Amino acid sequence: MKTFSQQLTDPVIEKDILDLQNKIRLFRDEKIDPEKFRALRLARGVYGQRQPGVQMVRVKVPFGKISAEQLIHIADITDEYSNGNLHLTTRQDIQIYYIALEKTPALWAKLEQVGITLREACGNTVRNITASSIAGIDPKEPFDITPYAYALFRFFLRNPIQENLGRKFKIAFSSSEEDTAFTFMHDLGFIPKVKIENGKIVRGFKVLVGGGLGGQPFLAKVAHEFLPEDQLIPFSEAVVRTFDRYGERNNRHKARIKYLIAKIGAEEFLKLVEEERLSLKSKSFSVSTEIPVAEALDKNENEKIFTTLRIIDNKKYQLWLDTNVFEQKQQGFFAVGVRVPLGNIRSDKTRQFAEVVKKYSGEDLRITLNQGFLLRFVPKGALPALYKELQLLDLAAPGFDSAGDITACPGTDTCNLGITNSTGIARELEKVIQNEYSDLLYDKNIKIKISGCMNSCGQHSLAQIGFHGSSLKAGKNIVPALQVVLGGGIAGDGEGRISDKVIKVPSKRGPAVLRTLLDDYEKNATADETFNQYFDRQTNNYFFLLLREHADLSALQENEFKDWGYDEFYKPAVGVGECAGVMIDLVSTILLEAEEKLDSAFTSLDEQLFADSIYHSYNSLINGAKAMLLSKQIISNTQYSIISEFEKHFSATGEFQLESGFKNRILEINKNEPTKEFAETYYNHAKLFFTQMKQYREKQLATQDGPAVALN
């Protein structure tokens, strides 16, 4: 395969893609450890799917902002490399499925031509930064958070401090105290705030840390009620560095930052964060609020063009206006939500939709957290014509972000971890709302969300009415099932609710469960009582008893042993998930990583990227110590414990003689400014340490067979 130099102008990106291409070749030739290769491709957005021999590629779209031309480009790539289907995710990414591994470097190169990357879209990295899709147009926002989200995305992209985390790390920005980005369920969450100082308006953020979904959801804790805007990036860097050093690395189920904070306490965690301040790239980071924004259409011109257009079915049009359209803070302009069922849209329709976007909203488009699109800056006079064109594309369904706009992950369609089919049941539940409870298309207080397993990619833990895939045993047979969860959602200003588990029922009874819940709510709730208020008043046990009849397995029908969308009888088939990029590290593999980090440290030093060089040197030291401990079958679960264990088993015994001791030497990283002098000194220490490690390992292997140790 030829070089990408003809396609790309950025040598850093070209090197990154060529590295993936080379590693694929080594993997196919069995010259690279499979788990090491998996970690590498995950950090480059290439994710193994349920079907063997093909990959899912995740396209990283920071805070969901995408242009019509970029969307067309992705649609073309989907036709060339995949099956013509694009999937919009709850993290504002785009996923493409059924791609041959060898084709992923070329696909990546074509994406980079229009400024889109795969880098750190998966794996143990800082993932795509999400934000409220209404940021910048929200009438309730103190200021537009978009420039800050973009700056943080750029800061972490290819940043060595987040390339080898113990687990994934997720960040969200909400546009206001409404908290429409669910900051309370993220590793780091930011809500914009302003205050008056010396007669001037000062910007800042309320900061949440340590939230997360998954099988064991945690609500985030408040780190700062008001963090000045220039401290956003320094604080975020310090948090990630702290998580990298002290976070769990062996047990993936306990490796998120929420468990670290639960273990040591928020106060101690923030103390460790503060200890990183001296070593940060910047002690203050001013974000330019003048990032390029797509030019809005001229309001008057569009009113002249479209005001004569008549709508035939005014009732349907009015329903669409009432449920999918709202006026922006910019007077005379409107935002239009577009429902994309299950987040799936074909490439041909994508291209047609992109042309509509260019015509009516000046390309200011966002992928939304509920797997849809939001057009922005649509002039009032253009709304009738826009509605007609969306109708022709079957994209004018009413009820955007309502009870009828159900969120669902791909489940068993493509995911290794899927237990049951989340997309099939989602379609059925949407039919129930549309055909039997159409008034709920106006209701944005009830959200229905579905995940194929407990890991909550469909965000069921945030739903007023949620379901996740499970199974039930009926005699000798297994029945596909749904765990019903109720009462989750946004409380506002960084506070939220985690839904409660209520009961488990066969999947085919999901529609009946929904009818029972909605009928009971309609019949017994008081005026203006929200679903969550009603849930709190009645308590969990009330709903358990209400739904108990649906859990009765004494009279199962034959079709209940089959999952939605399948003709054959259900058989659980859960594979190994790749969300965490779990690694099984051999000693030689870790030493190779140490050498690669040392090379990166030298390159960064040569390019005068001193903070990056220091962190690469640090990772080389950590990986080297980890390899040496593993050679003695000593397994440590955090970077800090690696440092302590190496000091105990090597430095203290005299096997490694390091001036001032290994622990003192390596922890100089957060006790010095990232200057040229310190970067050079630290690199030389790492280089000397690596030389000593190689010599030690050679002697070890000469006297005994090196243990084939795995780190699980």
Give the pLDDT confidence score for residue 526 in this predicted structure.
Answer: 95
What's 89-118 look like in SS3?
CCCCCEEEEEECHHHHHHHHHHHHCCCCEC
What backbone phi and psi angles, to 5 degrees, belong to 87?
Answer: -120, 125
Nearest to 50 by CA among 413, 423, 420, 344: 413
Widest CA span of the chain, in angstroms? 89
Give the pLDDT confidence score for residue 572 in this predicted structure.
Answer: 78
Q: Which of 23-37, 306-320, 553-567, 664-678 is the least confident region?
A: 306-320
Give the pLDDT confidence score for residue 130 in this predicted structure.
Answer: 98
Give the pLDDT confidence score for residue 305 in this predicted structure.
Answer: 58
Give the pLDDT confidence score for residue 706 in this predicted structure.
Answer: 42
In this structure, what token pair is assigned to residue 489?
């959602």
Give the pLDDT confidence score for residue 517 in this predicted structure.
Answer: 98
Per-residue pLDDT band at 271 (split at 50, 70, 90):
very high
Q: What is the mean pLDDT of residues 417-443?
A: 94
| pLDDT surpasses 60 at 301 | no
CATH superfamily of 407-561: Sulfite Reductase Hemoprotein, domain 1 (3.30.413.10)
Where in the chain is CATH 3.90.480.20? 11-112, 299-392
Residue where the block lists tokens 């010095």: 672
Q: Which of 60-74, 167-181, 476-490, 585-599 is the least confident region?
A: 585-599
Give the pLDDT confidence score for residue 607 in this predicted structure.
Answer: 95
Cβ-based neighbour number of residue 284 at 10 Å: 11
Q: Which of 118-132, 328-342, 645-659 is the least confident region?
A: 645-659
Where in the chain is CATH 1.20.120.330? 587-703
Which helix (H) or strand (E) segment holds residue 46: the answer is: strand 46-48
- Integer Cα distance of 343 and 423 in angstroms: 10
Q: Could you tell me the pTM of the whole model?
A: 0.92
What's 643-700 look like in SS3?
HHHHHHHHHCCCCCCCCCCHHHHHHHHHCCCCCHHHHHHHHHHHHHHHHHHHHHHHHH
- Integer Cα distance of 50 and 93 in angstroms: 19
Give the pLDDT confidence score for residue 280 in this predicted structure.
Answer: 96
Do 601 and 613 form a contact (C-beta atoms < 8 A)? yes
- Could you read off the pLDDT of 220-256 as tens digits, one per residue? 999 999 999 999 999 999 999 999 999 999 888 899 9
Question: What is the chain's length?
Answer: 712
Nearest to 52 by CA among 650, 576, 681: 576
Nearest to 469 by CA among 450, 493, 487: 450
Nearest to 583 by CA among 16, 214, 122, 124: 124
Is domain 299-392 given the CATH code 3.40.50.150 in the classification? no
Per-residue pLDDT band at 593 (split at 50, 70, 90):
confident
| Architecture of the CATH domain 130-279 | 2-Layer Sandwich (3.30)
Do 42 and 331 form a contact (C-beta atoms < 8 A)? no
DSSP-assigned states of every residue in 608-639: T-HHHHHHHHHHHHHHHHHHHHHHTT---SSH
Q: What is the mean pLDDT of residues 81-104?
A: 96
Give the pLDDT confidence score for residue 1 in this predicted structure.
Answer: 38
Mean pLDDT of the chain: 90
- DSSP single-letter state for residue 287: P
| pLDDT surpasses 90 at 266 | yes
| pLDDT surpasses 60 at 574 | no
The CA angle 151-597-610, to the nearest 5 degrees, is 50
When the candidates are 3.40.50.450, 3.40.50.850, 3.90.480.20, 3.40.50.720, the CATH number that belongs to 11-112 is 3.90.480.20
Per-residue pLDDT band at 117 (split at 50, 70, 90):
very high
Where in the chain is CATH 3.30.413.10? 130-279, 407-561
| pLDDT surpasses 70 at 18 | yes
What share of the chain in percent tops pLDDT 90?
A: 77
- Could you read off the pLDDT of 127-175 as tens digits, one per residue? 999 999 999 999 999 999 999 999 999 999 999 999 989 999 999 999 9
* Record: fold of 587-703: Four Helix Bundle (Hemerythrin (Met), subunit A) (1.20.120)
Nearest to 656 by CA among 707, 696, 698: 696
Q: What is the mean pLDDT of residues 378-392?
A: 94
In this structure, what token pair is assigned to residue 21?
């291409």
- Could you read off the pLDDT of 412-428 as tens digits, one per residue? 888 878 899 999 999 99
